[in-house]
Structure 1
Amino acid sequence: MEVLFNTFAAGTTAVDVYRLAGGREYLVRGAVKTAVAGALSRIDFEVPFGVPVQYRAEMFNSSGLSLGFTDTATTTVFVAETWVHNPLDPQGATIVAFRATAAREVKRPHEGDIVWPEGRTVGVVVSGQRRGVQDAVLDVIVDSIVQADKLQAMFGSYGTRTTPVICFRIGANDRVRLPRPFFAGILELSEQDQNYAIGTGEKIAYGMTGSEVSPPTPALVVPLLTRADLNAAFATRAALNSFFLTRLDANRAYQFAGSA
C-alpha cells in the first residue's frame, strides 16, 4: 500500500513514518530518517489486512530536532488471501493458505516461576515480561511450483543468505488468531508433496513452527523503484522531465520498478 504525505511543516528535512495497528506501533520500512523535500511516498509492504491502520510521521529539521508529528490518517486494507514475504525482500511475496492444523493453539507465556518461600503455604509468582507468540504451528499450502519456489527463496538458497524471518499478512479467508502483521522466526521448513509427484497438480504443503520475533531493522530495505529504473524507462533526461510534472510524481512511478 502506498503511504503518501503531501506536505510537512516548514523546515522539515527528514521524517520517521510510523504505522499503528493491533495496539502496536512500528516504524515503516524504508521510512526511517528519510530525507524529504516537501513530500514523501513509500510503499508499505507490511501493512496488515482487515484491521484499522494509522499512519503518522515525525518531522525533523536539519539539526535533527523534532518538529512534531503530522496528522494521523486511518485506513483498512481488505484482502481475502494471506500473503507472506521476507521483510528484506518484499518483492518475493507470495500467496499461501493456512492448513487446518495451523494456529489451533496460540501460546504467549510469561518469563518466570512460582516459588514457595519458607513459611508460606501458597506460592509467589516471580515473573517478567509476557512473551510474544511461542512455537506456533504455521502449516501452509500453495497451489503452484512458482509459489513453492518463492516460499523456499524466503529462507535463502545455496548461493544466498538471509534472515529466516517471515511476515504473515493474514487475509479474510484464514480464520486464525495471530497478531497482524505477524513476524515469525522460522528455523526449519518442511516441504510435503501433495499431488505433484503423481502428476495431477502442483499442490505443495509446508510444515513450519515459528515464534514471534522483531522484524529486521526498518532501516534495511531493498528499494522498489530506483533511479536506474527510471533511466532505463526513458531514453533521455528530457523525456523523463517532460513525463512527470514534479519530483514526487517521479518518485511514485512504481509502474517502472524493475525496468533496469
Structure 2
Amino acid sequence: MEQNAKASEVPKSAEVKPEDSSTKSNEDKKAEPWGYDLYPERRGTFSPKLTNVLIGKEGKEGIEKMKCEKNVYECVKNSPIVKIMMRALKSSGCAVDLRRHISCEVCDYSVSGGYDPELNQIVVCQNVSTRQGMVQGVLAHEMIHMFDYCRNQLDFKNMEHLACTEIRAANLTHCSFMSAWSQGDASYTRIKKAHQDCVKTKALYSVLAVRQISKPEAIDIIEKVFPKCYADLEPIGRRIRRNSEDMTRAFKEASYYGYD
C-alpha cells in the first residue's frame, strides 16, 4: 500500500472509542477547526517518543504497518461484509484500489480508523486496530462513508450530512443487542429500543470525536436526521434479499468485532 505523504486536512470521519472522545484538551480543539489531530503520520507530525519506545509502545511502526496491511488484505479477500462494500463501491463507479484507497498509519489512540474525503482514502490505525477483526470493523465502517461520499455527494462540513453517514455506519456495521448492552443502552425491558439507542450512541461519539460541537447540539442534529438515515440501508439492504446467508454471517461478524 502507498503511504500518503501529504494531506491538507485530517480525515473528516473517524471511528472512535466512545469512552475516549471526552479526553481531548482545549488546546487540541483550538488547533483543529474541523476535528483534532488524530492522524499525526498523515500530517507529518508523528515521531516516536523516547519514553514510548522504551516501554515498547512505539518504535515498531514498520512491523505494525506490515501486519496491518496483511490484515487489510485478508479482510478484503475473506470478509463477507467488506466484499459486499467493495462490490457496491465498484458498481457505483468508485472501485477501491488497495494501494491507493486504504492506508495503514499511526494514529491517536482514541481512534481506530478514519476516512479522508480530500484524498478519498480510508485510514486504518495500525497501532490501534491490531487484530483482523478490528480491521474488518474499520473497513466496513469507513466504506459506508466512502460510499456516501461517492454515491450521495456527502459534504463532511455539513453537520447533518456527517450525522447521517455516522448513523448509517453504526446501523449497518456495528450495533447488536450485546454491543448496546455493553454501552448501557439496553435492558431486558428496553429490547425494542436497544438497536436504535446503540446506533445513536455510536453516531454521537463519532461526531464528537471530529467536530467542535457540544453534546446537546450533536444530539439535536442526530435526532433530526435519524428517521431518514436509520431507514437508509443502502448498499447492504438490497443485498440481504439476494444473499441472506452471507449477510447473516456478515452482520454477526461486524457486530462482534465492532466494539472489539
Q: Could you say which TM-score interval applies, normalised by the shorter chain?
A: under 0.3
More helix by share: 2
- TM-score, normalising length from structure 2? 0.24
Higher relative contact order by CA 8 Å / sep ≥ 6: 1 or 2? 2
- TM-score, normalising length from structure 1? 0.24
More strand by share: 1
Structure exhibiting the larger radius of gyration computed from Cα positions: 1
